[in-house]
Amino acid sequence: MFDKAEESGFNPEFVLFDTWYASVKNLKAIRTKEWHFLTRLKKNRSVNPDNKGNMPLETVDIPPKGLVFHLKTYGFVKVFRIVSKDGDTQHRVTDVQDMGESKREDVAKKAWKIEEYHRGIKQLCGVEKCQARKEESQRAHIIFSLRAFL
């Protein structure tokens, strides 16, 4: 997918994706393209914050401004811990080691807008149920779904 995007002239400021796609293989593929990423990491990912060995991300003390450390089998990254009002914790990671909190917030807002868009087309257009592979058939499915909704 990254190769197809690059062939089409895609040159993003950041590649944004969910935890499901935050494999080391994908992170390295993005690095190979010389693109940057911001994604979430699961709390059990192995990191080495002090050069003394790997430990689960959730056990590392991360200040609000973020912390740079080694992500197992990838390299150095910067991680931010975000704690919501209800106490839920997320970890955002980027390869931009000098990223500040305000830039992280700006990029994360863009990621949220993408999530809202995808949720909308799934709920309103039923795209997750579409079995069509041809562009024309997919378009017809979406138009039919929208007409049924309206």
Binned at pLDDT 50, 70 and 90, residue 12 comes out as confident
Question: Do 1 and 64 sit in the same domain of this protein?
Answer: yes
Give the residue numbers spanning the domain of 136. Answer: 100-150
Number of domains in the chain: 2
110 and 143 in one domain?
Answer: yes
Statement: residue 149 has pLDDT above 70? no
CA distance 141 to 113: 24
pLDDT attached to residue 21? 85
- Does this model's pTM top 0.95? My answer is no
Residue 41 sits in the same domain as residue 94: yes
Under a CB-based contact definition with an 8 Å cutoff, are residues 100 and 80 in contact? no
**Is the per-residue pLDDT at 150 higher than 60?**
no
* Tens digit of each residue's pLDDT (9 = 90 or more) over 101-119: 888 888 888 877 767 766 7
Q: Are residues 128 and 75 in the same domain?
A: no
